[in-house]
Structure 1
Amino acid sequence: MSRVPSTQALRALESFARHGTVWQAADELCLTRSAVSHQLRLLERDLGFRLMNRVGTRVELTPQGMAYAQDIRSALALISGSATRNAARGISGALTVSCPAGFASSWLCPRIAGFCGAFPDVLLSLVTPRRLDDTSNPDVDLFITFGYGNAPGMEVELLKEVEFTPLCSPALLNRLDLDVPENLPDAPLLHLGTTEDWESWFRLAGLPEEVAQGGIRFSDMNLVYSAALASQGVAMGDEFICQQAMASGQLVRPFDLSILSPRSYFMVLPPEKSGNPASAAFRGWLRGEMPEG
């Protein structure tokens, strides 16, 4: 074929290939199911080969359709990346971001090159506060805080709610046989400051709260996780910033029991810094990096 298919039809195919159902593709594209089905049929007609087969009540891609969808995904990503790169041109200046040390080291730093690549003319500095919800540093353009979102006079945006669960190294799990919560008193507990999170988890598990009083207290989350990785105890881990350590098997969940923290991660913008284009760029990039849900 000589003409290029419609972008809407190509997006419908790419979305259908990712989700595997017409209704999920329709939901993502804010279209009706019949509209997505119509786009797929038109695309199939224009291409001159079969994209889909009906198997019972299901519709699935043919091998040709799957290969074509993969090419289209790459092409759409190239178009999107070009838009981002060109939009970033002209955005420059200095940007200082404050965020908790645990968030910075475990989640932000492994991704930060993505921002620098998209906005190469922004001079970025990362600093860590003494308090997780501190927004007092006048040199900071954008704060990422962990707390209750209390920042009077500032623009506050919820970034991510957090669930906590016990985390430890595989070696400690095997050594102490932590197969049931009742065995936790045999393990050293690792605390960040207070024992509040461990007490909440023990209540949920139906265990005496006073057990949470023992263990080691640290002033920094990086110290907590360093001790956990070194098999020195069990941490009450933030599942969000620990996702990489959990995925790699460095930290494991002994129990399928989590508590929703009353505190969350927030983006906080001082009103006097709202005109900084580099800050707006960072906020947009950060939103895009956040996992859904």
Structure 2
Amino acid sequence: MADAVARDLPTTRYCATPDVYTKQLAEQPGFAEARLALDVESRQMVARGIFAAQTGITRIPVVVHVIWNNDDQNLSDEQVRSQIDVLNQDFRKTNPDISRLPEAFKALAEDAQVEFALATTDPNGADTDGITRTHTDTTSFSYDDAIKFDSSGGKDAWPADAYLNLWVGRLGGRLLGYAQFPGGAASTDGVVILNTAFGTVGTASSPFGLGRTATHEIGHWLNLNHIWGDEPGCVGTDKVEDTPNQADANTGKPEFPHVSCNNAPSGDLFVDYMDYVDDDVMVMFSAGQVARMQACLEGPRNTFEILTDSYVTEKNRHRGSGADTN
């Protein structure tokens, strides 16, 4: 069984977030309009530069729903905690491997001012370690959201306005994970990750064993697009000004510079978390991406806390935007 699973492990990054997005556009009334309004609002916020003076750190409580069929899929607490550690390094720009950034990209890298912690209180007010564990008869899941419901062998979401839901389990089709953009249904809001691409210990496996799949997918959850805009041939856009236009996804371990779309001399920003490279290559978010994430936290995901200095204050960012909150 272990050999069969190993043969089916992904060797190239595949994120199904665009597939989920397309499905939502077709099936969810009002979703397209909500997304368009959010993009317009995000561009306006970024253009006003309202995040330059921000000093608070947004704190996001996380619940990890471990969905397991075989014993080796029931991830250890240590593996779960290792993923939280990676997220806090990546989103605060304290990841040690950022030192490998090419000199041309160092000025672009930015601290996202977002931190994550396993939840300590469940939706009923009881103490929790922030981890749920569900045995399932389902041998693998797809991006149809079945993993997100008790009724289909998964686990129901905790309230999406109070927690970031991370579902971890066996995924088929060499899928590494997917996320739901802001504006979707609360019952499916969150991120799904393959169990062998979660954290840095235990079942975490190369080339996706450094926890960067969750970093990538949470970028989507905070309204970031793939850096090439999901349209090949230099016509796509990630709606971020400081990321160079690039022709398509980069995979594996590109060498600097990788030039496309007339973006010489530095070429593609393939070291960015929102590209498709291996975990040990992606090491940064750009300042423009951080501004877009902060616009999301100012708008549809404005229900989380801000830590200021040594105390916590309730986040109150309702500014009359009319943005949908999950």
TM range (shorter): under 0.3
What is the TM-score normalised by the length of structure 2?
0.21
Highest Rg: 1 or 2? 1
Pick the structure with more strand per residue: 1
What is the TM-score normalised by the length of structure 1?
0.22
Pick the structure with more helix per residue: 1
